Amino acid sequence: MKVAVVGATGLVGTVILQVLEEMKFPVSELIPVASEKSKGKQILFCKQPYVVVTPETAVALCPDIAIFSAGGETSRQWAKRFTEKGCFVIDNSSAWRMDNEVPLIIPEVNGHILKKEHLLISNPNCSTIQLLVAVAPLHKLFNIRKMIVSTYQSVTGTGVKAVQQLMNERKGEFCEKVYPHRIDLNCFPHGGDFLENNYTSEEMKLVHETHKILNTKQIDISATVVRIPVIGGHSESVYLEFEQNIHIETIRKALLESPGITLQEDNSNNIYPMPFYSEGKNDVFVGRLRKGLYSDNSLNMWIVADNLRKGAATNAVQIAQLLLENKYIQ
């Protein structure tokens, strides 16, 4: 299996390489890809050195799968150049997510819609992935009609420079700022760009991607994105209203039986999901389950996941595994 990782030297690209190795994905030849300025650098994969090449060189090498994590502009420029060679492209950017011809895939939620002709596949936004892994099993049971989501997002979602800003501010050192405000000892309700409706692009991604993945526009969704000074992962406070009355024990059972979810719920011992403990793990962690105070058809829950893992790299590699399991790649 010839696998290209486009953006191999970046934050998510590095984690993709780790996940490929950990999951023992059958890579016979790795093609690490980055921009011209990184051409010729060496990276280690499975203890073997590989030389970084440009996208143009990678296309000529005709990989079986290319996992992109180099931003929307790179994906728009190069993704279809790879698919024209018969390569499956799994793209982590927002470039193709809302394209009607491109499936937006979370394997545990809608992996069944993948077809052999889907050479270009999109990875959802990190916040959308962890949200839907947790709520999709409940939607099947009770039909969600309303969802209010507040996210508390790690600086790793913005990239290496954001992590450096946090650490330098913590040490009191001067640094290049990628946020409009300091992030250490602070939080701000701003992720992405502000739109005409006063929501941000990150907030509207949660709305549009949820509707596409669950194949319905009948869920009223409101989101608020908050950036917080943590590294381990994203957290989400979620309020759901269903068409039917719910039973907490049925909810717990569904979550326990759903793949990719770890239920952490032991309030007497202060056990609940936290980003500090999600870092480096592939599961989505769910806790603080409780019925709404004023209706029998509502639920509050708390969801945490490592945004570089399940929110990006792990989900992408799981899509690649799905292509193998379906025998779309021999």
Please give the positions annotated as active site.
126, 234
Please enumerate, as own/partner, the contacts of 71-80 that have beta carbons within 8 Å and a separation of 24 or more: 71/7, 74/6, 74/7, 78/6, 79/120, 80/120
CA distance 172 to 62: 48
Is the distance from CB of 130 to CB of 315 less than 8 angstroms?
no
Using the Cα atoms of residue 121, residue 125, residue 126 and residue 131 in order, give the sign of their dihedral.
negative
